[in-house]
Amino acid sequence: MTIRDELLQMGTRARQASRALARLSSGTKDSALLAMANGLEASKVELQEINRRDLDAGRKAGLSAAMIDRLTLTDGVIEGMAQGLREVAALPDPVGEVTRMWKRPNGLMVGKKRIPLGVIAMIYESRPNVTADAGGLCLKAGNAVILRGGHEALHSSVAIASVLERAGRQAGIPEGAIQVVGTTDRAAVGELLQMDRHIDLVIPRGGEGLIRFVTETSRIPVIQHFKGVCHVFVDASADLARAEAIVMNGKVQRPGVCNALETLLVHRDVADTFLPQVGRALTGAGVEIRGCPETLRRIDGAVAATDEDWDAEYLALILSVRVVDSLDGALDHIAAHGSLHTESIVTSDYASSQRFLDEVDASCVLVNASTRFNDGQQLGLGAEIGIATTKLHSYGPMGLEDLTTTKFIVYGQGQIRE
C-alpha cells in the first residue's frame, strides 16, 4: 500500500469516526478522557521503555541536549499528560450549546448551535506529549484527530496514541477517533495537506519554518501562528514601579516563549526617571539591552539597536528599547513592527488605556498587565490547542470552543416563503 493510500484510509476512518463522535454524550467523552488518563499512568513503564528507543536513536543522530530533553517521557511528563486529560474532562462540553436564538416576524425560531468541526490534523515537532494533549482536546470537542508528530518521537507518539485508543475504545469512543501517522516518510505531510475532503482543519505547532511550509502546501484551512514580537509601552502617566514589574516579568520570567516581551517603548516624559531604573534591574537579571540613541544616554551598558532589532523575536535575554514622543509614536511603532500577537500599555490615564485597547491590532491587547498572560490557560479558556495570529475563525489563544463551529437550526410551524 502506498503512503497516499494509507493516509486516505486514515482519513476515511477519521471522517467516519467524526460522525459518531459528534453525537457522543459529554458523559461518554469525559469517562473516556479519565480512562485515558488512568491508562497512561498504568502504562508508564511500557511507555518509558518505548521512549528509550527514540532517545537512543536521537542520541545517535546527534540531537541537542534540549531536543533530547523535550523528547523524554519522564514520570513528570506522563503524569502531566494524565493530569491534562483529567482537566479537559472537567471542562464544560462546548458541543450542543445554542449560542443565540431569535424569533423572525413569520414565527420561525432561528438559533445557532455549536457543533464539532469534524476532522483535525495536528502537525507538530518533537514533544510526544502533544499527542495526548491535542488528542484529548479534539475528543472533548467531538472531533476526530490525525496526529503527525516529529519523526524523532515517532515510537513514543504511536505508543501514547495506542494507549489512548485502547482506553477510549473500552469507554465507547469509535475506532479512528485518535490516529497517529505511523511513518517517518516526509512525503506523508505533503499528502495529508491535500486531503481537503477528509480533513477540515490543520493545526501546525512548531517553528516558523514548519508553519510557513504547512501554510504554503495545504489545501485545507490552516491555523497560523507566526512570531511574537511583543511590546510594552510605558506611558507618561504610568506607575513606574508597576511598569518595572511588568517589564521584568515579560522579559525574564520565561524568555523563550512567544508571549515574552521583546521591545520596550517608553514615553519621553518618563524616560529620565524610568530608563535608568529599569535598566539596572534588567542588566542585573542578565538582560542585554539594545537601545535607540535616547536610550543609550540613559542606560549604562546598552548597545545601539539596528533596524533589524525592531522586528526581532529574540526568545532570549535581549531587549530592544526605544523612547517615543507620545502614545501616537508608540501606536505607530507597534503598527510598523508588531506581529499581531500581544501588546501591553502601562498607564494611569483613562483615555490612553482606551485608545490603546481600541487602536492596537493584536490578538491580545492588555492594560497594566504582563504580556505573559496571552495564553489559553491564563486567559481562562481552560486549555489551549494553539494561538492564531491570523484572523479567520480564531484570533489569539484557541480553546475548546475554537475547535467547534455553529450551524443554524430552525423551528417552524409549516412556514413557506412568499
Axis crossing angle, helix 327-337 with helix 350-359, rounded to the nearest 10: 20
DSSP letter at 221 equals -
From the CB of 22, what's the least distance to a copy of itself, in Å?
Answer: 7
Residue 25 binds a copy of itself (CB under 8 A): no
Provide the 3-class DSSP secondary structure of residue 228: coil
Identity of the residue, 53 or 393, whose beta carbon is nearer to a copy of itself in the bound complex: 393
DSSP letter at 172 equals T
Quick one: residue 362, left, alpha or beta (phi over 0 = left, psi -120 to 50 = alpha)? beta
From the CB of 153, what's the least distance to a copy of itself, in Å?
Answer: 28
Measured in whole angstroms, how far is the alpha carbon of residue 122 from the centre of its chain?
A: 12
Residue 382 binds a copy of itself (CB under 8 A): no
Residue 407 binds a copy of itself (CB under 8 A): yes
CB 226 within 8 A of CB 211: yes
Q: Spell out the residues 6+ positions from residue 372 whose beta carbon is closer than 8 angstroms to its own.
A: 249, 250, 253, 254, 257, 259, 260, 378
Neighbour-count burial for 244-282, b at 16+ CB within 10 Å, e otherwise: bebbbbbbbeebeebbbbbbbbbbeebbeebbebbbeeb
In the stretch 306-345, what mask flags binding to a copy of itself with x, by CB under 8 A? -----------------------------x----------
DSSP string, 9-78: HHHHHHHHHHHHHTT--HHHHHHHHHHHHHHHHHTHHHHHHHHHHHHHHHHHTT--HHHHHHH---HHHH
Provide the 3-class DSSP secondary structure of residue 128: coil
In the stretch 42-81, what mask flags binding to a copy of itself with x, by CB under 8 A? ----------------------------------------
Query: Which residue is listed with cell 495506542?
Result: 162
Residue 245 binds a copy of itself (CB under 8 A): yes
Residue 249 binds a copy of itself (CB under 8 A): yes
From the CB of 179, what's the least distance to a copy of itself, in Å?
Answer: 20
Among the listed residues 55, 235, 374, 385, the single contact to a copy of itself using CB under 8 A: 374
- Which grid coordinates belong to 93? 462540553
Measured on CA atoms in the order 212, 214, 220, 226, is the torsion positive or negative?
Answer: negative
- Which grid coordinates belong to 239? 506607575
From the CB of 367, what's the least distance to a copy of itself, in Å?
Answer: 5
Residue 253 binds a copy of itself (CB under 8 A): yes
Pick from 341, 373, 368, 370: nearest CA to 356? 368
From the CB of 143, what's the least distance to a copy of itself, in Å?
Answer: 10
From the CB of 166, what's the least distance to a copy of itself, in Å?
Answer: 28
In the stretch 117-136, what mask flags binding to a copy of itself with x, by CB under 8 A? xx------------------
Among the listed residues 52, 86, 113, 169, the single contact to a copy of itself using CB under 8 A: 113
CB 144 within 8 A of CB 176: yes
Q: Please choose, out of 16-24, 65-73, 166-174, 182-190, the segment that lies near a copy of itself by the rule CB under 8 A.
A: 16-24
From the CB of 330, what's the least distance to a copy of itself, in Å?
Answer: 15
Residue 90 binds a copy of itself (CB under 8 A): no
Q: Please choose, out of 82-90, 146-154, 321-329, 402-410, the segment that lies near a copy of itself by the rule CB under 8 A.
A: 402-410
Among the listed residues 362, 383, 385, 398, the single contact to a copy of itself using CB under 8 A: 362
From the CB of 108, what's the least distance to a copy of itself, in Å?
Answer: 6
Identity of the residue, 21 or 130, whose beta carbon is nearer to a copy of itself in the bound complex: 21
Strand-pair partners of 62: none
Pick from 305, 225, 333, 312: nearest CA to 262? 312
Identity of the residue, 135 or 376, whose beta carbon is nearer to a copy of itself in the bound complex: 376
Pick from 28, 145, 179: nearest CA to 95? 28
In the stretch 185-214, what mask flags binding to a copy of itself with x, by CB under 8 A? -----------x---xx-------------
Identity of the residue, 50 or 282, whose beta carbon is nearer to a copy of itself in the bound complex: 282
From the CB of 353, what's the least distance to a copy of itself, in Å?
Answer: 8
Instruction: Provide the CB-side half-sphere exposure for 54 (13 A, CA).
Output: 27
Residues that bind a copy of itself (CB under 8 A): 19, 22-23, 96, 102, 104, 108, 110, 113, 115, 117-118, 196, 200-201, 215-216, 219, 221, 239, 242, 245-246, 248-249, 253, 335, 353, 357-359, 361-370, 372-374, 378-380, 390-397, 405-417
